[in-house]
Chains A and B, each alone.
Chain A
Amino acid sequence: MAAAVRRVLWLSGVSGAARARPGAQTLRLICTSTAVQNRSHIPGPPVYTQDFIKEQTEEFNLGKRHLANMMGEDPETFTQEDIDDPKELFPSKSVCQWGEDGRPFHFLFYTGSQSYYSLLHEIYAKLLRIQKYEDEMRAQGSFPGTGNELKLIGSRWLIKEELEEMLLDKLSDQDYSLCIRLLERLVASPCSGIEEEYMAKFRRGYVVQVQRFMNEPLQYDEQGVAFSTGEGKRKTARATVIVYDNGSGKITVNGVHYIHYFPILQDREQLMFPAQFLDRLGKLDMVCTVSGGGRSSQAGAIRLAIARALTSFSTKNEVECMRQAGLLTSDPRLKERKKPGQEGARRKFTWKKR
């Protein structure tokens, strides 16, 4: 109040001083700021306030019941398969941020991104609260434990696009990383359990990957030895492998022992990798047939086929480990097409200055 009064007096003082000096040239103000200009006669961008959306939702519900009646279905359990939700039709945009006098509502309007900075202020306020709480706890003598890691497992922070959506404000990468760092700091303090709900707004759970657990059962041949088959491909090579249990680590490729078929060490390593990964190197026998491709792609195809065959011999955890190691993924790389005007797929013709 006192500050406002002082401000008014200062203004009047300025104007009084201007009038008191007769000889001074009165400076005519040519350009004015947008806040001073009155532009209320110009219609602004279409604004969808909360009330407007509420009205629309009520109308929508009424309309839905009418439509249900018309279609002869039960209005209570009418689904929205063919009807658009008003929330999607009228997306939330930022509301007009200044009043009729041109004065902005929010104190941080002039920062440019008011919602972002106000969020930062909020988070910092929470941090101070947590620190105060921690000090109180320590004064009482009870040291809080760390129980936050469990809540953080299985979720991730918002990505930049999601944060922009939340704040209705464009962010730069540095802004986003600053926000995340502040949140991390919030989480790092031991007493942050009190602000769990607030933090949960910024966390999203991981979408669990739908795993096609290829649980093919083991087959048994005449002697009762368990075996399983697998197929694999890499570039142009196609391979099929039959893996037998109770073996001695012998691998036969197209009827030839693998030392003779693959004289290069690198190829034999590829063949051995799946078995070595599951610690079953000397316990399995493999009979492979492969065609097409070159030396390296044949080895890669057989490796994939072996890994797929081994899924029948291993537990779900082992299969998950193999999948994460990349043993069960087919390598999608193929030879890139040669383009016209270039010598190869990427190589250009020699550039000659003249």
Chain B
Amino acid sequence: IVNQDVQIAEEKPRAIFRTSESNPANHTEQHDCQHYSIPLEEVKVIFPHGLPRRFKEQIETFKEACLMVRKPAVELFGYLKSTNFAQPAIRYVLYGESGTGKTMTLCHAVHYCAKQGWLVLHIPDAHLLVKNCKQLLQSSYKTERIDQPLQASAWLKNFRTSNEHLLREIKTQQKYTWNKWDSTEEGRPLVEMVEQGITRMKTATDVVGAVLKELKRQCSLGSFKLLVAVDGVNAFWGKTTLRKRDKTLVSPEELALVHNLRKMVMNDWSGGAIVTTICQTGSVFKPRLAYLPHELLGDEGFSALEPFVPIQVPKYSEKEFESCYQYYLDRKWLQHEKGEICAREPRVCTNCSAFSSISISGAKKVSPAPFTPFLPVYSKKKEKKTKPFCFSKQKKNLTTKL
């Protein structure tokens, strides 16, 4: 009888890590620390570009997308549910140490709004706009600005995937002339404009600017609700690593995309909400341990975003860690006893931030990648690009190869 009691007691805590409530609108504090799964078809539609790389790998491995319901997300939903759409849009800034789950909370909010029928403007990582951009064109619209056709067209493609049904209904309110041959008439559905931007890459940045202008204008009228979700909003104010042809540094305002997105993040429109995260991980020229809003945004960014509602995303608590651990056990990711034993120990040692809970000594040899929520296995190996052989101008290199 004693054995049965022990078994029952063991089963109970294992069952608590999952919930069957798949609609984020119904997530309350009761569902705290529980995983809910998103159907894979919805993931393709809602998150064409939003999820972190490791989470995508986890979805591939486990064949399901499971998100943990956490307190910051529930708090955010409370605010979103009680928004007054007549008032200007409120800005919410999710901040916290690196690896604590800000991007995942943002994705949770995006899922909630998508389910509610909002139009979601999701910029997956704003840092990608300010660094490592291959093609920079001088903008035809304003000569001092710089276009980024690749980034703009990629974003437009994903934007269309996630919001197709809404974009068909929204009509343009003015005529746009892109160049000598292309133009979009008044009253055409926005989808056409977006497709124009995807097909003609040179005009993509201007299309993005036009789309954002239209959405901002029409949202205040109240026909649809708009969610602007920006991951890494501190990239808009700060520095870039891009250089112009004359080797001078490009500042963020000179990038047309950043300029337009800054306008989007202003609270001069109503009928929606702006949820952002500030992130050190991809940021440019920011100290590693900085995570507070003022540190990462700088004076300029802070005054531009002010007033905002800060929501801190903390490291995993004991309960959340336990839930995550049970999830991995359930998915048979932790197979060896040693991995399980070692799993319990770092909870005490590492103060459990979502990524920092990776520090386990023996388990590394035993189970492949414990305790990152996003598992770095089964990633498709990128094919190495082989450089074509060319006669190098420097003769020294040739002689050493001999």
Query: Is the pair B356, A269 in contact by a Cβ cutoff of 8 Å?
Result: no
Query: Is the pair A259, B348 in contact by a Cβ cutoff of 8 Å?
Result: no
| Residues of B contacting A250 in the complex (Cβ-Cβ under 8 angstroms) | 349
| Residues of A contacting B241 in the complex (Cβ-Cβ under 8 angstroms) | none
What 0/1 pattern do residues 238 to 278 of A give for CB contact below 8 A with B?
Answer: 00000000001111000001011001010011001100100
Query: Is the pair A272, B358 in contact by a Cβ cutoff of 8 Å?
Result: no
User: Does residue B215 face the partner (Cβ distance < 8 Å to A)?
Assistant: no
User: Does residue B326 face the partner (Cβ distance < 8 Å to A)?
Assistant: no
* Other-chain contact of A263, B288, B345, B348, B399 (Cβ < 8 Å): B288
User: Does residue B282 face the partner (Cβ distance < 8 Å to A)?
Assistant: no
* Other-chain contact of A249, B342, B348, B356, B358 (Cβ < 8 Å): B348
Query: How far is it, in angstroms, between the C-alpha of A122 and the C-alpha of B40 when the chains are bound?
Result: 80
Query: How far is it, in angstroms, between the C-alpha of A168 and the C-alpha of B361 when the chains are bound?
Result: 53
In the complex, which range does the number of interface residues on chain A fall in? 10 to 19
* Total A-B contacts with CB atoms under 8 angstroms apart: 45
User: Does residue A40 face the partner (Cβ distance < 8 Å to B)?
Assistant: no
Of residues 346 to 382 in B, which have CB atoms within 8 Å of A's CB atoms?
Answer: 346, 348-351, 353, 356, 358-362, 364
The minimal Cβ–Cβ distance linking B323 to chain A, given in whole angstroms, is: 20
In the complex formed, the residue of B with least CB distance to A268 is B359
Query: How far is it, in angstroms, between the C-alpha of A353 and the C-alpha of B5 when the chains are bound?
Result: 80
Query: How far is it, in angstroms, between the C-alpha of A265 and the C-alpha of B359 when the chains are bound?
Result: 5
User: Does residue B289 face the partner (Cβ distance < 8 Å to A)?
Assistant: yes
| Residues of B contacting A248 in the complex (Cβ-Cβ under 8 angstroms) | 348
Query: Is the pair B364, A272 in contact by a Cβ cutoff of 8 Å?
Result: no
* Other-chain contact of B348, A265, A273, A281 (Cβ < 8 Å): A281
Query: How far is it, in angstroms, between the C-alpha of A353 and the C-alpha of B401 when the chains are bound?
Result: 12
Query: Is the pair A272, B349 in contact by a Cβ cutoff of 8 Å?
Result: yes
| Residues of A contacting B360 in the complex (Cβ-Cβ under 8 angstroms) | 269, 272
The minimal Cβ–Cβ distance linking B351 to chain A, given in whole angstroms, is: 7
Query: How far is it, in angstroms, between the C-alpha of A350 and the C-alpha of B398 when the chains are bound?
Result: 13
Query: Is the pair B361, A259 in contact by a Cβ cutoff of 8 Å?
Result: no
Query: Is the pair B359, A251 in contact by a Cβ cutoff of 8 Å?
Result: no
User: Does residue B400 face the partner (Cβ distance < 8 Å to A)?
Assistant: yes
User: Does residue A344 face the partner (Cβ distance < 8 Å to B)?
Assistant: no
| Residues of B contacting A352 in the complex (Cβ-Cβ under 8 angstroms) | 399, 402
Interface centre among A251, A259, A260 (most CB of B within 10 A): A259
Query: How far is it, in angstroms, between the C-alpha of A250 and the C-alpha of B348 when the chains are bound?
Result: 8
User: Does residue A282 face the partner (Cβ distance < 8 Å to B)?
Assistant: yes
With contacts A259-B351, A259-B353 taken as known, whether A265 is within 8 angstroms of B358 at the C-beta atoms is yes
| Residues of B contacting A265 in the complex (Cβ-Cβ under 8 angstroms) | 358-359, 364
Query: How far is it, in angstroms, between the C-alpha of A338 and the C-alpha of B288 when the chains are bound?
Result: 35
In the complex formed, the residue of B with least CB distance to A260 is B289
* Other-chain contact of B349, A282, A350, A353 (Cβ < 8 Å): A282
| Residues of A contacting B353 in the complex (Cβ-Cβ under 8 angstroms) | 259
Query: Is the pair A282, B345 in contact by a Cβ cutoff of 8 Å?
Result: yes
- 15 pairs of residues in contact across A and B, judged by CB atoms under 8 Å: A249-B349, A259-B351, A259-B356, A265-B358, A268-B359, A272-B345, A272-B349, A272-B359, A273-B361, A276-B361, A281-B348, A281-B349, A282-B345, A352-B399, A352-B402
Chain A residues near B (Cβ < 8 Å): 248-251, 257, 259-260, 263, 265, 268-269, 272-273, 276, 281-282, 350, 352-353
Given contacts A257-B351, A259-B350, A265-B364, 8 further A-B contacts (CB under 8 A): A249-B345, A249-B349, A259-B353, A260-B289, A265-B359, A281-B349, A282-B349, A352-B402
